[in-house]
Structure 1
Amino acid sequence: MWDWRGQSAAAFRGNVDAFPHWFEAYLARHHVTDILLFGDNRPLHRHAIHVAKQHEVAVFVVEEGLLRPNFVSLERGGTNYASPLPRDLDRLRQIVAHHDPDEPVTAIASEVKRRVVEAVRYYIAQTLTKPLFLNYRSHRQNAPLREAIAWVRRRINRRAEDAASAAAVADVRAGRFFLFPMQLDGDHQIDAHSDFPDMASALDCAFASFSAFAPEEVMLLVKMHPFDPDIDGWRACVAKKAARFGIGPRVRFIERFDLGILLESAAGVVTINSTVGPLALEKGCPVFCLGRAVYDIPGITAQCSLGDFWMAPPVVHAANFDLMCRAMRATALVNGGFHDDEALRLLVDSAVRRLAISDRLGLHVDG
């Protein structure tokens, strides 16, 4: 209601159980041929996809791009691990042979300040319109006020966090280390595309393996997600878990640091399915996926056991990674961004072109 100003919009105010019937009637009334969703795992979106498929309505899903910051995901049927992108090199070669993109890529600026402003606006709008949407239940885990208090606390402690993070990085970079980039609790990448209920469980898995198999001289650096409000205190949690697994002196935690520098120095990255994975591969840094990731493809990421990965991470084949990126650009990504006016204009133009040729690409979830 804030961004769209209600123009040509329909507001659903019922409960979740009533939504499929309401949406089905809406599709029929307006003769809808295609729907466009931001993300495919929110409860109402899952219902919308199910109804759309029943009525042969095309489903397109938009998400933050896997190859950031210059691209946004736009795919038919689903994104992330639900993407129709093939998971073997031979089929990726076929895509590139027929649809290799040749258009230039416009660099997209990362506007963190604008993201913060937009988040604040969203929470204000959510609060002000609450009386109009009494059945609304957010997909987010934390209440807005609780997150706001946590962010204020982090802002006050910024210098202390920076100093502690710099000291931790200096410790690990003196020798050989692996990087574990955290993801956000409640992220659908974890809920829908991994067997972990939360980040704490993923840390337990990584720490147990590191304790059992990693060489004694190797360190592990855990990096908090840049948009985590740190409500429950990850630094203390990581230290406690590391001590429980007997690896306290070999584990370091950081709230923030230049990711590019870390990826150039790390022996490897262990992740659930973070977008840090492709960034690492681009730098030639080996990647092991604990969850299900669209880029977890034989010949690109490590396919060995996690124990073997700590001991001898495989070499990254740059040509294979480049092949995957070209296939993604041709079928799954569009140039543009969400958090800058010029980037948004570019995104709209790129999306319109992609939607216009989507049928000719022949990439559907059902094959």
Structure 2
Amino acid sequence: MRAAAMTANRPTAPAPAPGAGRRVLLLQGPRSPFFARLSDALEAMGAETRRVLFCPGDELHWIGRPALRWRGPLAQWPAACARMLAETGATDVVGLGDGRALHRAGFAQARKAGALVHVVEQGWLRPGWLTLEPDALGAWRPDWSAPRPPAAPASAEKGAPFAAWAAMDVAHDLATLAAGWALYPGYRRHALANPLAEWLGWGGKLARWPARRAARAQALREMAATQARGAPLFLFALQLETDFQIRDRGPAGGVRAALETALASFARAAPAGARLVVKPHPLDPQPWRWARLAAAGGALFLDGGAVEPLFPQLAGVVTVNSTVGLAALRAGTPAAALGGAVYGPLTHPGPLDDFWRAPQAPSPARVAEFVDRMAAEIQTPGAFDGPGMAVGAEGAARLILRRAPGSGGGTP
């Protein structure tokens, strides 16, 4: 009895921290303090973290923290990354997106070293969610045979106001333009446009606001007239040309080629009286390029405003692989994807010509189950900046540590 009592009173060893033994190497992240918060969250869970900085913009939100720095050319980065992985003993590598050349090479070296690759991005579910996918962005597919997880909760997490986000974005570019040539001579931006061209575009966009507002009002009137006639309305949601979802998983020729394909198909196959509405990405600094192309193809051009309120009016939505497609499906609106989309199994199964005449949508129950599985496996509530940043960083840290070392995941 005494031995049993002594055994019962013996203190139990504390459970190991979820991050014990994990060493996480962070590459390029959002233009915000998000990776600093992610590092804090991972270390609070018992992991070790290191960060690689590639340009002065990366330095802005990592001040006072230890870091590795790569200042050389891209051609020498794979070998340098392999050395960093060996020196740090990294078990995990994290980066924003998988399309930029630095991350392609870094993730390839991580896989060779047996480290887990985690790709962080804006959420597939919007708003208020972040994505953290294993190995490659957009590669996730649901396992319909697995037990269904609980229903996805609504996320109320918010990002920073546009002005605050824009200030961080501009500060990153200004720092890199001003000091990159001296401090990081080997760095090359992954974006297609020079930041100066982007800023000029935004200036033109603001200057044209009165004309854009009048054109939007006219487009809304024509959409209402189409509905009043009982004719179907379709929407083409554009994406940014610099988006790697377009560059890596879209059609050859990018946004222009996709829009030209849709316009030609609509002219050829749409029912009489139907109208196609082209909506630019809200962050496109030069939307008037697409306005001219849309008008030449007989489509309406709707610049500005949220897309979600339009769904009840639409017979269908076309996009390359924008999250607008998944949002439309969640609202019960059929969608067609012209590129590789994570929600591809839910989109119209036939050719685009058939979509205009008889758009097909999956059952609401199928969409809901897809969303529930996605939310449970590769989504977390939060934002890259603003009030939702801390929640997003903690959730991303949990998803990173949930994967067991050595679990792999395959080469994309």
Q: What TM-score comes out, normalization by structure 2 length? A: 0.80
Q: CA offsets, 1:54-94, max 9 Å, x none?
A: 110111110011101121000111112xx2324xxxx2341
| Cα distance, 1:145 vs structure 2 | 1.3
Q: CA offsets, 1:164-194, max 9 Å, x none?
A: 1121122023222100011111211011112
Q: CA offsets, 1:274-294, max 9 Å, x none?
A: 110111111111000110101
Aligned counterpart in structure 2 of residue 92 of structure 1, from 139, 144, 157: 144
Greater shift in the superposed pair: 255-264 or 229-238: 229-238
| Cα distance, 1:197 vs structure 2 | 2.3
Aligned to 1:72: 130
Q: Contact (CA 8 Å) 2:245, 2:321: kept in 1 or not?
A: yes
Aligned counterpart in structure 2 of residue 348 of structure 1, from 378, 384, 393: 393
Aligned counterpart in structure 1 of residue 324 of structure 2, from 259, 276, 287: 276
Aligned to 2:60: 2
Q: Helix, strand or coil for the counterpart of 2:132?
A: strand
Q: Helix, strand or coil for the counterpart of 1:174?
A: helix
Q: CA offsets, 1:136-158, max 9 Å, x none?
A: 11111111111111101111221
Aligned to 1:45: 103
Aligned to 1:257: 305
* Equivalent residue pairs, number: 347
Aligned to 2:342: 294
The letter of the residue matching 1:92 is W
Question: In 2, Cα distance between the equivalents of 1:232 and 1:181?
Answer: 15
The letter of the residue matching 1:225 is H
In structure 2, relative to structure 1, the CA distance for the partners of 1:200 and 1:106 (3 Å cut) is closer
In structure 2, relative to structure 1, the CA distance for the partners of 1:264 and 1:93 (3 Å cut) is farther
RMSD: 2.1
Aligned to 1:285: 333
Q: Helix, strand or coil for the counterpart of 1:269?
A: strand
Asked which structure has the greater CA Rg, the reply is 2
Question: In 2, Cα distance between the equivalents of 1:284 and 1:15?
Answer: 48
Q: Contact (CA 8 Å) 2:94, 2:117: kept in 1 or not?
A: yes
Aligned to 1:109: 158
Aligned to 1:121: 171
Question: In 2, Cα distance between the equivalents of 1:103 and 1:363?
Answer: 26
Aligned to 2:242: 186
Question: In 1, Cα distance between the equivalents of 2:397 and 2:171?
Answer: 27
Aligned to 1:177: 233
| Cα distance, 1:235 vs structure 2 | 1.6
Q: Helix, strand or coil for the counterpart of 2:136?
A: coil
Aligned to 2:32: none
Question: In 2, Cα distance between the equivalents of 1:314 and 1:271?
Answer: 15
Q: Contact (CA 8 Å) 1:165, 1:257: kept in 2 or not?
A: no
In the TM superposition, 1:11-26 aligns within 5 A as 11-26=69-84
Q: Contact (CA 8 Å) 1:84, 1:365: kept in 2 or not?
A: no
In structure 2, relative to structure 1, the CA distance for the partners of 1:108 and 1:325 (3 Å cut) is same
Question: In 1, Cα distance between the equivalents of 2:408 and 2:183?
Answer: 40
Q: Helix, strand or coil for the counterpart of 2:318?
A: strand
Q: Contact (CA 8 Å) 1:93, 1:323: kept in 2 or not?
A: no
Aligned to 2:279: 223
Q: Contact (CA 8 Å) 2:236, 2:278: kept in 1 or not?
A: yes
| Cα distance, 1:101 vs structure 2 | 4.4
In structure 2, relative to structure 1, the CA distance for the partners of 1:232 and 1:16 (3 Å cut) is farther
In the TM superposition, 1:147-166 aligns within 5 A as 147-166=198-217
Structure 2 residue 378 is the aligned partner of structure 1 residue 329: no
The letter of the residue matching 1:252 is L
The letter of the residue matching 2:207 is I
Q: CA offsets, 1:209-248, max 9 Å, x none?
A: 11110012100000011000007732223223x1xxxxx2
Aligned to 1:233: 289
Aligned to 1:138: 189
Q: What TM-score comes out, normalization by structure 1 length? A: 0.89
| Cα distance, 1:366 vs structure 2 | 6.0
Q: Contact (CA 8 Å) 1:85, 1:332: kept in 2 or not?
A: no
Question: In 1, Cα distance between the equivalents of 2:178 and 2:60?
Answer: 10
In structure 2, relative to structure 1, the CA distance for the partners of 1:234 and 1:84 (3 Å cut) is closer
Q: Helix, strand or coil for the counterpart of 2:263?
A: helix
| Cα distance, 1:356 vs structure 2 | 2.5
Question: In 2, Cα distance between the equivalents of 1:52 and 1:267?
Answer: 45
In structure 2, relative to structure 1, the CA distance for the partners of 1:261 and 1:200 (3 Å cut) is same
Any stretches of 5+ residues in structure 1 without a counterpart? 243-247
Structure 2 residue 336 is the aligned partner of structure 1 residue 304: no
Greater shift in the superposed pair: 8-17 or 165-174: 165-174
